[in-house]
Amino acid sequence: MYVHIGDDIILQIDNIIAIVDQQTVDVTSKQTIGIIYDDTLLKSGNFKSIVVTDNQLYLSSFSSNTLKKRIFDNYLQKPGR
């Protein structure tokens, strides 16, 4: 199953390790993520959550609750559920 996380990015649900709300990320973590991503994007706050996969971090314009609901809804639609 797959989930759309915004900005034309679709991820396989099985590869998602964590979804973290932007508001819960502390300054040190944002500085660390800033090394990976453009600091301008982080400072502007144009993301609502961070999606962690086994090989990459994604900044999503959707809230963590929205993404979790999408994943749960996709899981319930899986045959045999």
DSSP states of the chain as a string?
-EEEEETTEEEEGGGEEEEEEGGG--HHHHHHHHHHS-HHHHHHT--SEEEEESS-EEEESS-HHHHHHHHHHHHHHSTT-
pLDDT in tens, 27-37: 556 555 654 55
| Containing structural domain, residue 24 | 2-77
Residues 6+ apart with CB under 8 A from 17: 52, 53, 54
Model pLDDT, residue 42: 47
Residue ranges of the chain with pLDDT lower than 70?
Answer: 25-45, 78-81
Total domain count, the chain: 1
Predicted model pTM: 0.71
Model pLDDT, residue 74: 77
